[in-house]
Amino acid sequence: MGEYLTLLFATIFVNNMVLSRFLGLCPFMGVSKKLEPAIGMGLATAFVLTLASVCSYLANEYLLQPFGLEYLKTVTFILVIAVIVQGTEMVLRKTSPLLHSVLGIYLPLITTNCAVLGIALLNVQEDNNFVRSALYGFGGATGFTLVMVLFASIRERLELADVPESFRGAPIALMTAGLMSVAFMGFAGMA
Amino acid sequence: MSDNVYGDIVTNGLWTNNQALVALLGLCPLLAVSSTAINGLGLGVATMATLTLTNLIVASIRRWILQEIRIPMFVIIIACVVTAIELLMNAHLHDLYRVLGIFVPLIVTNCAIIGRAEAFASKNNVVRSTLDGLVMGLGFALVLVFLGIIREILGYGTIFRGAELMLGPWASDLTITLASNYDGLLLAILPPGAFMALAVIIALKNKIDRVQQRRSANAVSVAVPLQSSRA
Amino acid sequence: MNKLWRFNGGVKLSGFKSLSNAAGVKRPPLPKRLYLPLQQHIGAPAEALVEVGDKVYKGQLIAASSSFISAPVHASSSGTVVELKKHIIAHPSGIAEDCIVIETDGKDEWHSSISALSNPDALDLDELRSRISEAGVVGLGGAVFPSGAKLKPTRSIDTLVINGAECEPYITCDDRLMRTRPREIIRGLLLLRRLVNPTECIIAVEDNKPEAVQHLRRAIDELKSEGIGSVSTVRVVAVPTLFPAGGEKQLIKVLTGKAVPQRGLPYEVGVVCLNVGTTAAVYDAIYEGKPLISRLVTITGPNVKHAANYEVPIGTPVQHMLDIAGADDTGGGEQNRLIMGGPMMGHVLPNAQVPVVKATNCILVEPKADVVPTTAMPCIRCGSCADVCPMHLLPQQLYWHARGKAFDKLDHHNLADCIECGCCAVACPSKIPLVHYFRFAKTEKKEFDAKAIFADQSRVRMQIREARIAQRERELEERKAKRKADRLKKKKAKAAAAAASANASVDDQDQASNGVSV
Amino acid sequence: MIEEQALVIAVEKGAVVVQTQRASTCGSCATKQGCGTSALAKGMGKGYTELRVVSDLDVNVGDTVILAIDESSLLKGAVFVYLLPLIAMILGGITGDYCANLFALNSEWLSIVFGVAGLVGSLLLIRLNPYAHRFQQQIQPRMVCRKY
Amino acid sequence: MSDNASTSQATSPFVPSSTSVGAVMRKVIYALIPGVVLYMILFGWGIVINIILASVSALLFEAIMLMVRGRPLRMFLFDGSAVVTAILLTLALPPMLSWWIPVLGSFFAIVVAKHLYGGLGYNPFNPAMMAYAILLVSFPLQLSLWAGPLDLIAQPLTFVETLNYSLFHQLPGAMAFDSLTAATPLDYLRTQVGLGQTVEAITRAPIFGLLGGQGMEWVNSAFLLGGLWLLYMRIISWHIPVAVLASIGSISGLAYFLDPAVFANPSVHLWGGASILCAFFIATDPITASTTPLGRIIYGLGIGGLTFAIRTWGGYPDGVAFAVLLMGLVVPLLDHYTVPKVFGARTDRGNQ
Amino acid sequence: MAISSEHKGMVVAGWLLAVSALLGTGLLAVVNQHSEPYIAENERIMLLRSLNEVVPIESYDNEILEDQMMVLAPEYLGSKKASIVYRARKAGKPVAVVLTVVAPNGYSGPIVLLVGIDYSGDITGVRVVKHRETPGLGDAIEIERSDWIERFTGKSRRNPGRAGWKVKRDGGEFDQLTGATITPRAVVAAVSGALEYFEHNRDNLFISNAEIQARDEEAKGLQQ
Amino acid sequence: MSVLLLTALALAFGVFLGFVAIKFRVEGDPIVEKIDTLLPQTQCGQCGYPGCRPYAEAIASEEAEINQCPPGGEAGVQALAELLGKEPMPLNPDNGVAEEGPAMLALIDEETCIGCTKCVQICPVDAISGAPGFMHTVLDVYCTGCELCLPPLCPVDDCIIMVPVEANIRTWKWSNPEAVGAVL
Ligand SMILES: Cc1cc2nc3c(=O)[nH]c(=O)nc-3n(C[C@H](O)[C@H](O)[C@H](O)COP(=O)(O)O)c2cc1C
Ligand SMILES: Cc1cc2nc3c(=O)[nH]c(=O)nc-3n(C[C@H](O)[C@H](O)[C@H](O)COP(=O)(O)O)c2cc1C
Ligand SMILES: Cc1cc2nc3c(=O)[nH]c(=O)nc-3n(C[C@H](O)[C@H](O)[C@H](O)COP(=O)(O)O)c2cc1C
Ligand SMILES: Cc1cc2nc3c(=O)[nH]c(=O)nc-3n(C[C@H](O)[C@H](O)[C@H](O)CO)c2cc1C
Ligand code: SF4
Ligand code: SF4
Ligand code: SF4
Ligand code: SF4
Ligand code: FES
């Protein structure tokens, strides 16, 4: 259990997906202008990412490797992800139409989120097993959500700040991400 | 205007609609592998190749793609192209491949690529699409290299360190050392430095654009009564 | 029994009350003209009942109230109606609104209907209430809410609070009123008590007005000795001097410990609260039969020679009062800034020609030279403003979102609950005009909502119109088609008739097919 | 309070059927044309969701109305739908792992089976559980007003 | 609208505010003085040189940025906030440094963390702490060499010698830099725990002094005094300092109670590092802290907890700066979710 | 009616995707065919290169990559997992081994080292494979950052002797890094541990694979 | 074997994706409604479309830019930009300039009106009433100030003019403190 908690802590804070692994930056920059969408995107990503992490692990371990097809992992993973996204969309629409209409818009965006593919590939690289894959995905996604929500809340505050003209918009957002990354270095060495 | 189409494609890709600076797409590889100029160059070239090839393929088969499933089709095409490039890099540029890590396969999810396929290649002819892919890729690669150069200078005090990774052992002479006993501003090569450097580059671009805009506005204002141009 | 509570925040201010509270109430000479705005209260404007040229008498009804929440206007002196026109009124906007202008004849003749009531205590409650309303009594504590409407509580009342706190600096009109007419105030209170039937009555006075407390207590004793036993349940309570102790919600908290619900009214916690001036006006309306045609106004300020309280007929131009009080006007009136109300909650008058209205409790004359222009700095989020906010709001957040006109956020931070007391702005080290921002945001929001409703209306009207046009077109089309078909039919019929002679059976078939196609 | 616009497509007694509409995709696109994300959202994301809302507001087919749900209950709902299955899956996997260790099995099939069981089980739970039903009711939106 | 209208737009209150930003910042500086003076007496001249370098350069950067951005110079340059930032930054740095480190720190604090965000009032991150964190990750070597307390050092430097070191990196004669330095208590604790020693044994070392740090304990006590004065002057509210100290104290107390061999005693945590300075001067930075009462308490508790965690398990000997920065990230959310109930708030607001 | 046309579209779409996937994978199969050998060779070279940094290439002549065995010695080698040992031989005679050693107590986490030790117990080279020490401080143990790690070459159990296997601050022989004592301390301890392990197991470490197999079989035989 | 496996995989995924793509195809653009609510509903046609809704449709289909509605002003562009995730841009001067100052209303001079009914027919919100041959009146609570009824549509010069909406204390607004120069 301790090992799992450490893994979770490490993926959420120490090796934060966005701030130290550089994954999922496009939605991080794109869907963080307002708080609510950021929460929605974060939750949706958490779901898909964890599932994708597990499924691509299974696909790799029990389909590709036995047949020596590792070189197809990128293609396979991206298809797995696309299918998971679509499946989630369908299930969500059936079980909770309202959530679907409020949060469902973020689902298709996730397919091109390199975090999802990145985690799947890192799983292979780090030789994770089933449980570790799940935790790896979950932790990474939680870290992603956390950072994105914080980032969005700060960006909302920046909207009215007297930022120098050239820095308005993307530059100050990136600068903020950089400074957040400095702050997150405080977790260094903790796992 | 048609003779200008190619010119437009070029300025669009390199400046006005630069994928990295304006559209803010493909940020992950941009920030992750730009700690040195050579790394940036390596991934930039790979991305450029992918963009060009996918645009070419998509444009040439665009007539046969079923509208409803065009997106999954694009995804498959891109994934295959990237995998091919990945395999070739692994075979022939192994050292560089190792440095770039998972960011080579991650070109698949570089939003810019599917974006160009959808927005340009599926609507234009092969020549234009290929040019568009090439130029968009070049625009991306240039930013990557530029960012790499800045971070490398600040962080290591060198330019083109590790050129041998890409070009073979002879290229280690290409490395230019600007300050030999330079401690290095570690920040520049750490994650925060990547964000901050890109922030400064984009701010610079904004500034240049604004200055240019003001200049052209001034030029126009001779003819037209001045309008308050508060963007 | 005598326990007092505290409200959150508040600021201690220098009172500057001695400037004007030394002298007794003065009665100024009549102005040449009176300007009586039709709207001097919250609610719908009154409707004028007089025409230009009409002769009017003091106390005569000249504009009637138009709905439940509204108040009538009475002539404050005798004379002739010379104009019905828009005149700039005492409002921060400087906008002109409808006024009845009376040229006074100097006789100050009462209207024949005005006479003291022989036995007011015999009036039944409804009549009492309607007399108060008909007398044009509105809240004189600042909000000018028609008092009649307030005196019809829908639940049982525990406490009747008479607000004599007068927490604003400079203002002393309530102080003076309590000193000069304590008996009337208490008898007015007793009338109100009949109306709302509370278990206890409290007259609250800030403890910086000991004389007023004394006078009131003495009056109670007198009345008691005169055999009005019910007076014994009336208490005069001195509350700590802390702005805005006079605010209704704060005062109720201090006196009873109860919090008036958010966006609710005092009666929801069993309290009715009226100003002492209002109470005196109720007395006048019932016992003397006099409508509300004058009020006490404090004219004060560093450059006013005879700073004091004046009994001013409603409608008197402010300039008239300044002349009488001897305000320094060496600059032709330009060198002074005129504030109606106190320095915390009042507003600048657009000019000195505006008339005194029912809400005018004070004219504060400040030399413009004394006004130090300050530039605001950015908010440093120090929280001093929140510390002093009596409503537990977060002024710094409200300010931030007011700048961005983020209406949903303003709602989240309860902008609507701000009573505009000004404590936050006084406490702010960055000297941000916070209250100005809140007022701005409130009116912006109002306009935004109004625009949204108007846009919706327009959309619907547009849709209706389009539907109508489409309908008409369809009808037109149909008619045209029908006409065409008819014509065709006729033609065919003609042809058929021509052919009928040749072949009758073909004709039948033709008819049938025609019938189907129509 | 999160507000959503919806279009009334049918009026029943005491209830209306509305179609909610999706807002923009993502904010990243300074230039929408170049963005793969928006391309994807367009190509794969589907527009409408229909739902029934209990309401006695006087509305007609074709009206736009505002639906509102409490932010916190929506959040709860989202956690319920998105996170519960994941946590169930992970806990299932860990249990499986633990059991495998207990019986000294050198294979992760047990944890896979347990994990999948957790996932599927919790999904079914969400669908079948009476509490979940009540919960679904709770996150039913209210129709607050006609859109002006 | 008419001219009249615009003149009457000035709105109440017409009572001028009694304080100003400058007055607030000046009081903070006064409150820091006793601690700084003690620091100088106990640890040598370095701190003075650094404060001067940092303040002058901070004012310079402030002036340059104000000019570049076209903002009024006078009003902002003399509001004192840049000096507060500079002093707090310097207090976080080791006292013996090359001149360019405090100057670079001022650059990051004033230009990057403050003015890129719009200057006074708009910066979401604590400038002093951000600058310190950036310096720490960029120059870990220089920033981990601390001058020891003078009474543990054989031959203290004079002012001129210190200045000479700062500007030219020269030490008198054959003196080695190492002889001037000593690990800070928390650093020593970390490294020794890493060696497997018990905390009890470690904290008997001379640098731990009476309460948790030779010399440092007096400096911190002076800061405590200054902080209490600020509280009394109502420049800061009690929520943050109490929350920070309470959480550091109670968490470390609990840990110490559970296993005194592994965890240091609470007084080391409170007096050995920057806890007190943080509680009264850094975490209370109004601009980057939460503004609601409940938010401030959570913010303070979070800082305390993170500080303890980073000190105990993290990669840095003292976690104060990172704790402040990390909790700073949460401030907008705290502000949003801890809006106090309005006076007279109804319990259910749903039906209105 | 609508359903059936929808169905048809679906199937067509499915086939189209399937065909394109097939084409794509076919293409990839070809590319893979081409690059597979190169990749394998690259990986071999990479490994060889790092081994050669700790064992000079001219000192051995066997296929060092093939000559490997697994060992598990947590108390000496610091890792709870079995790790690979490569053996260098010249003309069949044992020359050196390359051990993977983990220094568990680095400043921020474990440090993984390759340690080459020749048959006589002298170190032929040490390299850091993986670490998370502070950039700019602890990372001077990397060969790219400083030559500190080279100091180990030629040292052995007796040179400098038990007391010397410490950093200078602790009274030993090895320089500490300025401002970072923990990292070198951990590395020194780990290398020392590796030497000790080598001393105890030298002959076992050089058993050839054939011998191991033989021994295994023997054991099996015994069991039966 | 592996080829077989892959084909199967691709086929399965392909069918699924195809199914999803076709089953849930986007019908129409759902965002029109949202855009429409952000437009001022003045229905003036300055955007180049016959009314606000058509313009909303044009924006949704990316035929039109978001900066073509002068009555909405910069604030309107801002709101649209936020909704659509685009960068705000200045109003397109080709569509006319956003008018500063008070809102305007049409007023018909009852003396000169000849009762031609042209204005009745064009008014998009039915704000004009009158019968052929009789004088017409603008119902000022409905008039959006779109100016469509002005001459040259109205054949009589100066018959229909635009007058500012009269300010009163109920619609009056406090000024923006920032504009007054209070704050930096
Ligand atoms: C729309 C409206 C309705 C009111 N209705 C009542 C009422 O029914 N009973 C009552 O006692 N006061 C009523 N009031 C008056 C308030 O209680 C309060 O006295 C008035 O707003 C002035 O208070 P203030 O000067 O503290 O702002 C009403 C006020 C408003 C604006
Ligand atoms: C901040 C603030 C301060 C007030 N101060 C006084 C005051 O000192 N005296 C007073 O009679 N009313 C004061 N009022 C008005 C009261 O809230 C309340 O409206 C009044 O007492 C009700 O009585 P009325 O309807 O007779 O005016 C104040 C209101 C506010 C918002
Ligand atoms: C940010 C930071 C990072 C550090 N990183 C390391 C490191 O990676 N390795 C290390 O041995 N010491 C590191 N240290 C230094 C230790 O805290 C300690 O100062 C040192 O190891 C022992 O000090 P000494 O050399 O004076 O004995 C770091 C210190 C700081 C402040
Ligand atoms: C009580 C108080 C504490 C402060 N603490 C800090 C601080 O920790 N760091 C800092 O850079 N500025 C601090 N300042 C100064 C000022 O708030 C800071 O320069 C702003 O963050 C710059 O916009 C403080 C000011 C006050 C009044
Ligand atoms: S004016 Fe409003 S926000 Fe300011 S203190 Fe008064 S009630 Fe609070
Ligand atoms: S008092 Fe002024 S500076 Fe302080 S938080 Fe409030 S608004 Fe901001
Ligand atoms: S320009 Fe006129 S018609 Fe077009 S959207 Fe704006 S208000 Fe509507
Ligand atoms: S009356 Fe004229 S200006 Fe007013 S809405 Fe109708 S057409 Fe437009
Ligand atoms: S490149 Fe777009 S999310 Fe990573």
Min Cα separation B177/chain E (Å): 20
Whether the pLDDT of residue B228 is over 50: the answer is no
Whole-structure pTM value:
0.88
**Residue D26 maps to which CATH number?**
2.40.50
Identify the CA nearest to C91 among candidates C378, C349, C332, C342. Answer: C349
Sheet holding C47-48, edge to edge: C47-48, C61-64, C73-74
The answer to whether G14 contacts F11, with C-beta atoms less than 8 Å apart, is: no
Q: Which residue has a Cα nearest atom 18 of ligand 4?
A: E81
Asked whether residue D62 falls in the same domain as residue D28, the answer is yes
Asked whether residue G163 falls in the same domain as residue G120, the answer is yes
Q: Are C8 and C421 in contact (CB under 8 A)?
A: no
Whether the pLDDT of residue A46 is over 80: the answer is yes
User: Is the minimum distance from the CB of G56 to ligand 7 under 6 angstroms?
Assistant: no
Q: Are G21 and A108 in contact (CB under 8 A)?
A: no
For this complex, say whether ipTM is above 0.90.
no
Q: How far apart are CA E293 and CA C9, in angstroms?
A: 13
Q: How far apart are CA G33 and CA C459, in angstroms?
A: 12
- Return the ligand 5 atom nearest residue C398 CA: 3
Q: How far apart are CA C128 and CA C132, in angstroms?
A: 6
For F125-178, write each residue's pLDDT tens digit.
999 988 888 777 788 888 887 888 988 998 888 888 878 888 887 778 888 877
Identify the CA nearest to E270 among candidates E250, E249, E255. Answer: E249
Q: Which residues in chain C come in under a pLDDT of 70?
A: 1, 331-333, 500-518
User: Is the minimum distance from the CB of C426 to ligand 6 under 6 angstroms?
Assistant: no
Tokens of E216: 């440092």
E contacts of F105 (beta carbons < 8 Å): 194
The answer to whether C459 contacts G52, with C-beta atoms less than 8 Å apart, is: yes
Choosing from G62, G79, G99, the residue where a domain stops is: G99
Q: pLDDT value at position C449?
A: 85
Q: How far apart are CA E333 and CA E331, in angstroms?
A: 5
Tally of domains within chain D: 2
Q: pLDDT value at position B63?
A: 78
DSSP letter for each residue of E280-313:
IIITT-TTTS--SHHHHHHHHHHHHHHHHHHHHH
Identify the CA nearest to G137 among candidates G147, G127, G146, G145. Answer: G127
Q: Which residue has a Cα nearest atom 17 of ligand 1?
A: C265
Q: How far apart are CA E273 and CA E183, in angstroms?
A: 12
Task: Identify the DSSP state of C227.
Answer: T
Q: Name which residue leads in pLDDT, A98 or G50.
A: G50
Q: How far apart are CA G128 and CA G108, in angstroms?
A: 9
Q: Which residue has a Cα nearest atom 2 of ligand 2?
A: C247
The answer to whether A160 contacts C403, with C-beta atoms less than 8 Å apart, is: yes
Tokens of C112: 């024949």
In the predicted model, what is the mean pLDDT of residues B66-92? 83
F contacts of B183 (beta carbons < 8 Å): 136
The answer to whether E138 contacts B192, with C-beta atoms less than 8 Å apart, is: no
Asked whether residue D9 falls in the same domain as residue D40, the answer is yes
pLDDT along chain G (184 residues), means of 10: 66 69 52 78 83 84 82 83 75 74 79 81 83 78 83 80 81 79 44
Alpha-carbon torsion angle A122, A128, A134, A140, nearest 10: -40
Q: Are F78 and F186 in contact (CB under 8 A)?
A: no
In chain B, where are the structural domains located? 3-213
Q: Are A19 and E137 in contact (CB under 8 A)?
A: no
CA-to-CA separations, E335 to C377, C386, C429, E338, in angstroms, rounded: 22, 13, 21, 6
Q: At what angle do helices A73-95 and B70-92 cross, to 10 degrees?
A: 150
Asked whether residue G56 falls in the same domain as residue G126, the answer is no
Q: pLDDT value at position D28?
A: 36
CA-to-CA separations, B125 to B60, B62, C236, in angstroms, rounded: 7, 9, 92
CB-based contacts of B225: which residues, under 8 Å, 6+ apart?
none
Domain that holds residue D120: 72-138
Peptide bond into C244 cis (omega under 30): yes
Q: Collect all residues from D whose CB is shorter than 8 A from any CB in B.
A: 28-31, 33-40, 42-44
User: Is the minimum distance from the CB of G54 to ligand 7 under 6 angstroms?
Assistant: no
Residue D43, Cα to own-chain centre: how many angstroms? 21
Domain that holds residue G86: 1-99
Identify the CA nearest to A71 among candidates G3, B50, F28, G8. Answer: F28
Tally of domains within chain G: 2
Sheet holding C159-164, edge to edge: C234-239, C200-206, C159-164, C271-275
Choosing from G78, G99, G120, the residue where a domain stops is: G99
Please name the residues between 172 and 191 in chain A that touch chain F, using a CB distance below 8 Å. 188-189
Query: pLDDT class for B194, splitting at 50, 70, 90?
Result: very high
Cα angle: C314, vertex C315, C318; to 5 degrees: 105
**Residue G117 maps to which CATH number?**
3.30.70.20
Q: Are C73 and C358 in contact (CB under 8 A)?
A: no
B contacts of F136 (beta carbons < 8 Å): 183-184, 186
CA-to-CA separations, F72 to C208, E81, F217, in angstroms, rounded: 89, 60, 21
- Maximal C-alpha separation, chain F: 90
Q: Where are the beta strands (DSSP E) in F119-187?
A: 123-130
Q: Which of A75, A117, A155 to mutate to test the interface with B (most CBs of B within 10 A)?
A: A75
Could you identify the residue written with the tokens 């041959």? G133
Q: Which residues line ligand 1 (CB under 6 A)?
A: C 42, 139, 141-143, 145, 149-150, 247-248, 265-267, 272
**Residue G69 maps to which CATH number?**
1.10.15.40
Cα angle: F117, vertex F119, F125; to 5 degrees: 20
Strands C294-300, C362-367: parallel, antiparallel or unpaired by DSSP? Answer: parallel
- Return the ligand 9 atom nearest residue B110 CA: 1
Q: pLDDT value at position C240?
A: 95
Fill in the amino acid letter for G10: A
Q: pLDDT value at position C49?
A: 93
Mean pLDDT across chain C? 88
Residues constituting chain B:
231
Identify the CA nearest to C355 among candidates C144, C142, C111, C91. Answer: C91
Strands C347-348, D2-12: parallel, antiparallel or unpaired by DSSP? Answer: unpaired
Least CB-CB distance to B185: which of E112, E138, E140? E138
Q: How far apart are CA G83 and CA G31, in angstroms?
A: 9
How far separated are the first and last CA of chain F, in Å rounded?
73
Task: Identify the DSSP state of B222.
Answer: T
Could you identify the residue written with the tokens 């670079």? E104
Q: Which residue has a Cα nearest atom 5 of ligand 8?
A: G143
Strand partners, G137: G129
Q: pLDDT value at position E276?
A: 95
Give a yes or no: residue G3 inside a domain.
yes
Strand partners, D15: D12, D54
Tokens of E110: 């004033």
Q: Are D57 and B46 in contact (CB under 8 A)?
A: no
Task: State the CB neighbour count (10 A cutoff) for residue E111.
Answer: 18
In the predicted model, what is the mean pLDDT of residues A134-155? 93
For D79-124, write each residue's pLDDT tens digit.
777 788 888 898 998 888 888 888 877 777 888 888 898 888 887 7
Query: pLDDT class for D34, splitting at 50, 70, 90?
Result: very low
Q: Which residues in chain E come in under a pLDDT of 70?
A: 1-9, 152, 154, 174, 194-195, 211, 347-352
For C243-259, write each residue's pLDDT tens digit.
999 999 999 999 999 99
Asked whether residue G47 falls in the same domain as residue G134, the answer is no
For D48-65, write each residue's pLDDT tens digit.
566 667 666 667 776 777
Least CB-CB distance to E137: which of B183, B190, B196? B190
The answer to whether E137 contacts B196, with C-beta atoms less than 8 Å apart, is: no
For F90-104, write each residue's pLDDT tens digit.
888 888 999 999 998
Residue C298, Cα to own-chain centre: how many angstroms? 20
User: Is the minimum distance from the CB of C395 to ligand 6 under 6 angstroms?
Assistant: yes
C378-396 in b/e form (b: 16+ CB < 10 A) is bbbbbbbbbbbbbbbbbbb
**Residue B113 in 3-state DSSP?**
helix
Q: pLDDT value at position E128?
A: 97
Asked whether residue D62 falls in the same domain as residue D114, the answer is no
Asked whether residue D58 falls in the same domain as residue D108, the answer is no
Q: pLDDT value at position D132?
A: 57
User: Which stretch, A82-86, F8-12, G97-101, G178-182, has highest mean pLDDT?
Assistant: A82-86
Residue E135, Cα to own-chain centre: how many angstroms? 14
- Return the ligand 3 atom nearest residue F108 CA: 8
Q: How far apart are CA C423 and CA E12, in angstroms?
A: 10
For B49-63, write each residue's pLDDT tens digit.
998 999 999 888 887
Query: pLDDT class for F187, splitting at 50, 70, 90?
Result: very high
Task: Identify the DSSP state of C304.
Answer: B
User: Is the minimum distance from the CB of G72 to ligand 8 under 6 angstroms?
Assistant: no
CA-to-CA separations, D121 to A52, A134, D114, E232, in angstroms, rounded: 18, 17, 10, 59
Q: How far apart are CA E92 and CA F32, in angstroms?
A: 56
Query: Residues B19, B23, B25, B30: is their CA dihedral positive or negative?
Result: positive
The answer to whether B227 contacts G25, with C-beta atoms less than 8 Å apart, is: no
Q: How far apart are CA A117 and CA B195, in angstroms?
A: 22
**Residue C279 in 3-state DSSP?**
helix
Give a yes or no: residue G42 inside a domain.
yes
Q: How far apart are CA C378 and CA A163, in angstroms?
A: 13
DSSP letter for each residue of chain B:
-GGGHHHHHHHIIIIIT-TTTTS--SHHHHHHSTTSHHHHHHHHHHHHHHHHHHHHHHHHHGGGS-GGGHHHHHHHHHHHHHHHHHHHHHHHSHHHHHHHGGGTGGGGG-HHHHHHIIIIITTS-HHHHHHHHHHHHHHHHHHHHHHHHHHHHHHHSEESTTHHHHH-GGGGGG-EES-TT----HHHHSHHHHHHHHHHHHHHHHHHHHHHHHHHHHHHHTTS-------
In angstroms and rounded to an integer, the radius of gyration of the C-alpha atoms of chain D is 21
Task: State the CB neighbour count (10 A cutoff) for residue C230.
Answer: 13
Give the ligand whose atoms come closest to the C-alpha of residue C9: 5
Identify the CA nearest to B229 among candidates G93, C30, E234. Answer: G93
Could you identify the residue written with the tokens 């030279």? C369
Counting one residue from B and one from F, how many pairs have CB atoms under 8 Å apart?
63
Query: Residues E298, E301, E303, E309: is their CA dihedral positive or negative?
Result: negative
